[in-house]
Structure 1
Amino acid sequence: MQGSAYGASLAGGAFDVVNFVRQPQTILRCLSWLFSIVVFATITAEGYVNEAEKPEAQCMFNSNDSACSYGVGIGVLAFLACVVFLVLDAYFPQISNAKERKYIVIGDLVFSAAWTLLWFICFCVLASQWSHTLDQTALPGDAARAVVAFSFFSTITWALSSYFAYARYSQGVNDFDQDYRDPASDQTTPYPPAPYPSGPTGYQQSPFSQNQEQPGDYQPPAY
């Protein structure tokens, strides 16, 4: 973990693509991004079926349109969030302000924890609705099982992202507890004392003050 208030003292330098791609957080975000596409794209493409006795298409999960809408909504928002956090992760090493880094880390932690819970709810809802679906043979069962499975996988990846975000947040809190001061905004550092005394007590009379001639004492030279 980077020290000095969320690694603010280590900011700068060239962007290392190889190191960025190898980071666990980057891998988890890419997996979460991919899983979210599978969930909302599968529901959108194959999640609604037309039944003979009903004029409108119904959700394949026990004809519960709310279940399909929930899965699509969670998946689309997770997809957008992964893109945003990937950009922030790439830009994060260039941020020198400790407060900005703190806000990014807290936002990552809160969102990851919230989406871990929402994905788990999505998994439970879809799995329950699919188990109560009567005629599963007439429905795209592989697509339904894929949506349920990748909802569960998304829960795991977002939970791991929450863990890494919490570890980074805890490291930053410890650095602030050690009286860290951001060099860019620290105005309390005193200036070094002047090398010479100041004020009237340090005044010294000029050495030439006693030898100065008065204007009336001037004598022209004799030729």
Structure 2
Amino acid sequence: MNQDPVKIMVMVFSIVVFGSIVNEGYLNNPEEEEEFCIYNRNPNACSYGVTVGVLAFLTCLLYLALDVYFPQISSVKDRKKAVLSDIGVSAFWAFFWFVGFCFLANQWQVSKPKDNPLNEGTDAARAAIAFSFFSIFTWSLTAALAVRRFKELTFQEEYNTLFPASAQP
């Protein structure tokens, strides 16, 4: 299976998370001068969601570019290094999305209704939590697909060792 559709889905999920928080994750109260984060007035929750979303999006762009460039990498060892980095980075992001989901869900759970009496931005806050949850699985799937690609490369390297190109007619 090609990883590109999964990586595009990962990018869309990242956009939903950071876009939801940037657009509707901050509220202002007429009695206060500064706006506050919808997640329990914790600015770290909004900052974490936006930062992880933007960095995951950029990382995914980088690895999409690597996927385009991948067929032109002639050395099997260099291909293995690229795939190993894809495995590690995908697992890393799956973990960070898990942390983000837990953090945002917890802060949303302990938010006080008096801070948002009109329920402004609640759909966006829930969407960010939901897509953080979905991102755990999409990044895990990306890592699993990279593991499969790594196994194929290992087989190709073994095959090339056993049957060198010069021995073929």
TM-score by shorter chain over 0.5: yes
Displacement of 1:170: 3.0
**CA deviation map 1:82-114 (0-9, x unaligned):** 111111111211211112211210110010000
Give the equivalent residue in structure 2 for 1:162.
143
TM-score under structure 2 normalisation?
0.87
* Aligned: 1:118 with 2:96: yes
Which has more radius of gyration?
1
Please show how residues 1-223 of structure 1 align to structure 2 within 5 Å.
23-135=1-113, 136-138=116-118, 139-176=120-157, 180=161
Amino acid at match of 2:24: E
TM-score under structure 1 normalisation?
0.67
How far apart are the structure 1 equivalents of 2:51 and 2:92? 14
Aligned length: 162
How far apart are the structure 2 equivalents of 1:31 and 1:65? 27
Where do 4+ consecutive residues of structure 1 move more than 4 Å?
174-179
> What 5-or-longer segments of structure 1 have no aligned partner?
1-22, 184-188, 190-223
Contact preservation (8 Å) 2:76, 2:157: no
Percent identity over the alignment? 45
- Three-state SS of the structure 2 residue aligned to 1:35 is helix
> What 5-or-longer segments of structure 2 have no aligned partner?
none
How far apart are the structure 1 equivalents of 2:34 and 2:117? 20
More deviation in 131-140 or 41-50?
Answer: 131-140
Amino acid at match of 1:117: F
How far apart are the structure 2 equivalents of 1:86 and 1:159? 16
Q: Compare relative contact order (CA 8 Å, sep 6+) and give the higher one, 1 or 2.
A: 2
- Three-state SS of the structure 2 residue aligned to 1:40 is helix
